[in-house]
Structure 1
Amino acid sequence: MGVITFDFEITSPIPLAKMFKAAILDADNLLPKVLPHAVKSIEVFEGDGGPGTIKLMTFGEGGPYKAAKHKVEALDKENFTYCYSIIEGEMLGTTFEKISYEVKITASPEGGSVLKSMSRYFTIGEVNITEEEIKAGKEKASAMVKAVEAYLVANPDAY
């Protein structure tokens, strides 16, 4: 088994606490609203939302995947960090054992926030991931953050 690691960072004008609450703590409700073409629903399958919780995410029509199970590995509301792993679903195929994400949101000097994410792909055997695949993954993550940001700008009293 190998591990392939990628880092991603995006800056937002949305303040730290508001971004964490919307993008992390309320993602189960917000992502299907702001990305209905990509995320159909996110439901708690087992647990209370904290570490050990299993969530089932179903994807929008026309995408390459139908669903994925996520396991919450860690949630630290005081330090604005969230870690989870994709543990089941078509996206793992026969290539990956799991895919883990560590997300940390920090305050930017301008009053907004900086979302930093580290992705770890736990491979089954030797795997080569192309620059195009890396770029596509980062574009999807950026689109998610920008969709949450657009919602918060349009709904300033939310969260």
Structure 2
Amino acid sequence: MGVFTFINEYISTVPPARLFKALILDSRNLVPKLMPQAIKSIDIIQGDGGAGTIRQINFIEGNYAVVGFIGIKSRVDELNKETFTYRYSIIDLDEKFESIVHEVKFEPTLDGESKNKVKDMYYTKGDVELKEEDVKARKGIVLGAFKATEAYLLKNPNAYA
């Protein structure tokens, strides 16, 4: 088994509390509206949104080839509204992966903006080699959701305030 870790940081003029509310707490409602070309829906299968919740993310047909899945199931492992941290695992994976874990943290900066970190850990089965270009499309969807949410919040200063 191999472990491949990718870390990305994004800076935003939007404070962490607003980004966290919109992008994490209300993602199932907001993200499909902001990214209708990629995401069909985000449904809660089990739970109340907190730790242990199982969600199904359904991609628009035709885009599944880009991300490698028609839909994915994820389990919320940690959700902390005080520290703006969120950790989830992709479940029901194919034969290449043991697990895929994503950790997201929104940190305030001294000037009221936010520094946002996303750490992706891919645990592969056997001797599967994973290169950064293999996860480029998945990273693109995450960055697309972040940028679309940021743009929405900047245009709508009272949303998720």
TM-score (norm 2): 0.90
* SS of structure 2 residue aligned to 1:62: coil
Displacement after TM superposition at 1:126 (Å):
1.3
- Distance in structure 1 (CA, Å) of the matches to 2:36 and 2:61: 9
- Distance in structure 2 (CA, Å) of the matches to 1:151 and 1:61: 25
Displacement after TM superposition at 1:109 (Å):
2.7
Displacement after TM superposition at 1:81 (Å):
0.3
Question: Which amino acid in structure 2 is aligned with residue 74 of structure 1?
Answer: E
- Judge conservation of contact 1:80–1:104 (CA < 8 Å) in 2: yes
Farther-moved stretch of structure 1 (48-57 vs 105-114):
105-114
Give the length in aligned residue pairs. Answer: 156
1:12 matches 2:16: no
- Distance in structure 2 (CA, Å) of the matches to 1:58 and 1:102: 21
- Distance in structure 2 (CA, Å) of the matches to 1:158 and 1:20: 12
Distance 1:12 1:87, change over 3 A: same
Deviations 1:48-79 (A, max 9, x none): 11111101110112112211110000111111
- Distance in structure 2 (CA, Å) of the matches to 1:99 and 1:75: 17
* SS of structure 1 residue aligned to 2:10: strand
Taking the TM superposition and a 5 Å limit, the aligned residue runs for 1:1-159 are 1-63=1-63, 64=65, 65-88=69-92, 92-159=93-160
Displacement after TM superposition at 1:108 (Å):
2.0
Where does structure 1 differ by over 6 angstroms across 4 or more consecutive aligned residues? none
Deviations 1:2-27 (A, max 9, x none): 22111111011111111111111111
TM-score (norm 1): 0.91
Question: Which amino acid in structure 2 is aligned with residue 154 of structure 1?
Answer: K
Unaligned runs of 5+ in 2: none
* SS of structure 1 residue aligned to 2:159: coil
